[in-house]
Structure 1
Amino acid sequence: MSLLDVRDLTVSFRQDGKTTRAVKGVSFTLDRGETVALVGESGSGKSVTALSTVSLLGDSATVGGSVTYDGQQMIGASRALLHKVRGNDISFIFQEPMTSLNPLHTIEKQLVESLELHQGLRGAEARARVVELLEKVGIRDAASRLGAYPHQLSGGQRQRVMIAMALANKPDILIADEPTTALDVTIQAQILDLLAELKRTENMGLLFITHDLGIVRRIADRVCVMQGGEIVESGPTAEIFANPQHPYTQKLLAAEPKGQPEPVELGARVVATTEHLKVWFPIQRGLLKRTVGHVKAVNDATIQVREGETLGIVGESGSGKTTLALAIMRLIPSEGSITFAGQDIRKWSTGELRRLRKDMQIVFQDPYGSLSPRMTAFEIIAEGLAIHRVDPSRNPRELVAEAMTETGLDPAAMDRYPHEFSGGQRQRIAIARAMVLRPRLLVLDEPTSALDMTVQVQIVELLRNLQQKYGLAYLFISHDLKVVRAMSHKVMVMKAGEVVEQGTAEQVFDSPRSDYTRALIAAAG
């Protein structure tokens, strides 16, 4: 008998008088010591399937079929049984730990709460168990971190705390829902190794939900590929990767940014340069706020980017990538030289910079957070036209329609709101908002990391086409080395504010000089 047995699972949601079928007859099993991956794009039903295992979907959901854990039926189970199983026998790790951890409570309090609830541990005994759990998941000097709040930990440390909470009650099954998507490649590799080791030592079943097939190849024993609420193909991981049968599986396996950008034209004009750029933030202490030191967010960065050229900036969180880009755009103070279009702009006033703003645009990582939910696509894209008085003789709707067409959007949808678009479409709106101003320099800050693999490929292709058509200069910030390689002519590697390596994409990826660069490339697999 399998530890978890899902048979003909169906899930429907009823809202505003309409019924949507999210899961349609899904069946799979999970055994002790085994990792099963549910793979598919956003909206395929992966997370809904996982949440159904312990009835976590809420009153709007109608669930049918059978889900048995250790022989016990979970669909329609009593509150007492579900209360016992949730977080005790079946635990979850979610994608974004900051939404799962309480920002007002210390790490110790949040872990102790689970131990008190399920195991009755209190006081020194509970504290000792918390330290043991934190050490098990690789948090150094765990006893000294008990009083820390979530915001005082790095992304990787927060995810380790989430894993510790999930393991607190020695579950039989661990369900990990996109647990590494928001993490740097080196941290991602560490978390995956940690989960594999914990699964082996604790003899757990691991249900791993992801859209990243590279992770699946690395961690899963079996894989179930989901599309439109159904499992379209399943089997041992090696077999699925070696000989995929379903067209959708073949499409997913082929969805990896490939190729390289068009070469930069000879004699292309320099768009932006920096020389010995520094961004130091003062550390102030005491009643008089004396400066006792500095956080060297960027320390001595010298770059050059030309028309039609992409400079890829890579490094882990906190390495200074985004800070460097914001300094170049004069959005934060800095020291050193910043030249844009042949002019030293570092000492320009706000008024003088305003006329340059349309030539320097930025696209952010999160297409959900960077668009106002109260504005239509037209209003979002057109906002800069009025501010910068771009082509005032033309109808703004015409200009927005052109920008939408150019970025692969249907102009007929310009009066819709962001929630009516998919994640990939929202990112295209963000790109259209920048492109409608015809900038010369575009900063792309992790523009693909929140997107499915197939959508990533489309966005990379779109950006390369726009660059070739308009001679755009890109600063491309990312921790995804495959995307960086597909986009970049030159690559800069940053660590703790320092530039540790810089060169052509071929030089950096094929013959890295720095140990840190080699570690990044190895972690990316």
Structure 2
Amino acid sequence: MSILKVRNLRVSFRVEGRDFQAVKGVSFSVDRGETVALVGESGSGKSVTALSTVSLLGASAAVEGSVQYDGQEMVNADEKLLRKVRGNDISFIFQEPMTSLNPLHTLEKQLGESLALHQGIVGDEARGRILDLLEKVGIRDAESRLTSYPHQLSGGQRQRVMIAMALANKPDILVADEPTTALDVTIQAQILELLAELKKSEGMGLLFITHDLGIVRKIADKVCVMKDGEIVEAGPVAEIFENPQHEYTKTLLNARAAGVPEPVSEDAPVVAETDGLRIWFPIQRGLLRRTVGHVKAVNDATLTVRAGETLGIVGESGSGKTTLALALMRLISSEGGIHFMGEDIRQRNTKSLRALRKDMQIVFQDPFGSLSPRMSCEQIIAEGLGVHGNPDGRDPRDLVAEVMDEVGLDPATMDRYPHEFSGGQRQRIAIARAMILRPKLVVLDEPTSALDMTVQVQIVDLLRNLQKKYGLAYLFISHDLHVVRAMSHKIMVMKQGDVVEAGDASQVFMQPSTDYTRELMAAAD
């Protein structure tokens, strides 16, 4: 029996004085205990369709058609019914956790709010339920995390908290919008297994939105392929994967980052290196804030990356990958040696470091959190030129148009603001902002995690081409081992702050020497 029925759904927005139709006559249904996947490129209308199920698009959207949950019409429903259904009967896991989690509330308060509001569970009972939820979604040492705030967690950990919040009230329907985007492969496998178990035990319907067709094959019963606001092909997963009929579906199925990067010249200079780098964060307690221990984020990490070379850093969320990269760029304090272009930059003060920032750029994991909502796309990308100077002396607008074209963005959209772009498009803006200064070292922190498969291939090709053209050194942090393999010359595997394995990419992938690395490789298949 269908618990969610969508019929001839149409959604349009008023943009620059004219109507833009984002969803065009979409129809599908979700039965109890069934997983339906919506797949397609960024901007195809997947998320807009999902948000329409409980009228979360706001007053700017014109919605037509029918969305029925358990026989109740959701389109133009009164606010009282919608408040009852939202978060209780129909729960959401959103793509970007930092925009969904309250930065002023601890994890315990945020999870407890949902339990108190919908089920009246408070006190010790709520605390026990919260601990159980956090452990289920793979948060280690859950009790010590209850007083943590979102900014104190890694991107993957924040996503797991979002999943725990969505599952708290045992919803009839879970709408999962890219729920595993920020998760490493081992936790991704655990979360998919957890969702499958809940679907079976609770009879929960699952509307799963993703650009990762590998996940669709593992978890979904039916798949709807969307393009330009329409479903171009739909049916059972096995049938669609084995015998796709639409050309666009065939393109998606064939899209995967492949190949290997260009070999590095033997005389390529070393751009960046660390020697025994250690990052420990003090744990302070009591009235006098005495240090009673340390969070050992990174232990004795030694790395070298040369011009034209990519060092891939892999490991679970919270293993220290991003912390290591931030320390290398002198954005957080550390102990041990850090050299950039042959100079020990640990001796530089903040003022003298600024001159080096042009040559050390970073693309963050969460593009929405790193892009100013008050600046246009052009202003965001060109900001570095204003700070560090224009190396070519050309019109900054021309440079912005050029780099936007390089990363697959339409230069005609440079006057728009971040909220007017899809998640994948925002990530491309972040890449363009880093590349416009032509740096020597670029830290890429999950740069393809928000991108659909076809755009992932384009971005990997773009990064390779830019690396070859300008001799860029990359520090490539990712949980997507297929992309890491396509990009990296060398691999470093991290676990709980320790480097457990390092070497040439081909050697690590073909002959991993540790059980942990073998587990990562197996989870990625």
Bucket of the pairwise TM-score, normalised by the shorter protein: 0.7 to 0.9
Residue in 1 that maps onto 2:322: 322
Identity over aligned pairs, percent:
78
List per-residue Cα deviations over 1:452-482 (Å, max 9, x = no partner).
Answer: 2222221111110011112221111222211
C-alpha deviation, 1:175, in angstroms: 2.1
Residue in 1 that maps onto 2:455: 455
List per-residue Cα deviations over 1:211-241 (Å, max 9, x = no partner).
Answer: 2211111100111111122111111111111
C-alpha deviation, 1:413, in angstroms: 5.9
Q: Distance in 2 between matches of 1:178 and 1:113?
A: 24
Correspondence 1:471 to 2:471: yes
Check whether the contact 2:96–2:366 (CA below 8 A) recurs between aligned residues.
Answer: no
Q: Distance in 2 between matches of 1:33 and 1:155?
A: 29
Residue in 2 that maps onto 1:35: 35
List per-residue Cα deviations over 1:368-392 (Å, max 9, x = no partner).
Answer: 3434444455544444445445547
Pairing 1:201-280 to 2, within 5 Å after superposition: 201-280=201-280
Shift in CA distance, 39/430, structure 1 to aligned 2, threshold 3 Å = closer
> Which moves more between the two structures, 28-37 or 414-423?
414-423
Q: TM-score, normalised by structure 1?
A: 0.87
Aligned length, in residue pairs? 525
List per-residue Cα deviations over 1:157-176 (Å, max 9, x = no partner).
Answer: 65555555544544332222
> Which moves more between the two structures, 232-241 or 13-22?
13-22
Shift in CA distance, 506/75, structure 1 to aligned 2, threshold 3 Å = same
Check whether the contact 2:157–2:318 (CA below 8 A) recurs between aligned residues.
Answer: no
* Structure 1 residues without counterparts, runs of 5 or longer: none
Q: Distance in 1 between matches of 2:425 and 2:100?
A: 27
> Which moves more between the two structures, 56-65 or 209-218?
56-65
Q: Distance in 1 between matches of 2:424 and 2:166?
A: 32
> Which moves more between the two structures, 452-461 or 123-132?
123-132
Q: Distance in 2 between matches of 1:116 and 1:135?
A: 20
Residue in 1 that maps onto 2:348: 348
Shift in CA distance, 320/93, structure 1 to aligned 2, threshold 3 Å = closer
Q: Distance in 2 between matches of 1:427 and 1:298?
A: 27
Shift in CA distance, 377/284, structure 1 to aligned 2, threshold 3 Å = same
Check whether the contact 1:10–1:64 (CA below 8 A) recurs between aligned residues.
Answer: yes
Q: Distance in 2 between matches of 1:273 and 1:139?
A: 32
> Which moves more between the two structures, 127-136 or 290-299?
127-136
C-alpha deviation, 1:20, in angstroms: 2.6
Q: Distance in 2 between matches of 1:336 and 1:3?
A: 58
Shift in CA distance, 29/18, structure 1 to aligned 2, threshold 3 Å = same
Pairing 1:251-400 to 2, within 5 Å after superposition: 251-350=251-350, 352-385=352-385, 387-389=387-389, 391=391, 396=396
Q: Distance in 1 between matches of 2:81 and 2:507?
A: 58
List per-residue Cα deviations over 1:20-47 (Å, max 9, x = no partner).
Answer: 3222221112222211111122222222
Q: Distance in 2 between matches of 1:94 and 1:293?
A: 35
Shift in CA distance, 272/33, structure 1 to aligned 2, threshold 3 Å = same
Shift in CA distance, 287/112, structure 1 to aligned 2, threshold 3 Å = closer
**Quick one: which amino acid aligns to residue 215 of structure 1?**
I
List per-residue Cα deviations over 1:408-437 (Å, max 9, x = no partner).
Answer: 556666566555655555544444443343
**Quick one: which amino acid aligns to residue 228 of structure 2?**
G
> Which moves more between the two structures, 152-161 or 439-448?
152-161
> Which moves more between the two structures, 140-149 or 459-468?
140-149
Correspondence 1:53 to 2:61: no
Structure 2 counterpart SS, 1:346: helix
Q: Distance in 2 between matches of 1:445 and 1:200?
A: 35
What RMSD, in angstroms, separates the aligned Cα atoms of the two structures? 3.4
> Which moves more between the two structures, 133-142 or 260-269?
133-142
Structure 2 counterpart SS, 1:25: strand
Q: Distance in 1 between matches of 2:157 and 2:352?
A: 43
Structure 2 counterpart SS, 1:331: coil
Residue in 1 that maps onto 2:481: 481
Greater Cα radius of gyration, structure 1 or 2 = 1
C-alpha deviation, 1:512, in angstroms: 1.1
C-alpha deviation, 1:112, in angstroms: 5.5
Check whether the contact 1:15–1:60 (CA below 8 A) recurs between aligned residues.
Answer: no
C-alpha deviation, 1:200, in angstroms: 0.7
**Quick one: which amino acid aligns to residue 67 of structure 1?**
V
**Quick one: which amino acid aligns to residue 173 of structure 2?**
I
Structure 2 counterpart SS, 1:62: strand
Residue in 2 that maps onto 1:513: 513
Shift in CA distance, 157/362, structure 1 to aligned 2, threshold 3 Å = closer
Shift in CA distance, 410/293, structure 1 to aligned 2, threshold 3 Å = same
Residue in 2 that maps onto 1:495: 495
C-alpha deviation, 1:128, in angstroms: 6.6
Shift in CA distance, 392/136, structure 1 to aligned 2, threshold 3 Å = closer
Q: Distance in 2 between matches of 1:140 and 1:434?
A: 34
Check whether the contact 2:43–2:422 (CA below 8 A) recurs between aligned residues.
Answer: no
Q: Distance in 2 between matches of 1:333 and 1:131?
A: 32
C-alpha deviation, 1:514, in angstroms: 1.6
> Which moves more between the two structures, 256-265 or 182-191?
182-191
Correspondence 1:22 to 2:22: yes
Shift in CA distance, 294/113, structure 1 to aligned 2, threshold 3 Å = closer
**Quick one: which amino acid aligns to residue 39 of structure 1?**
V
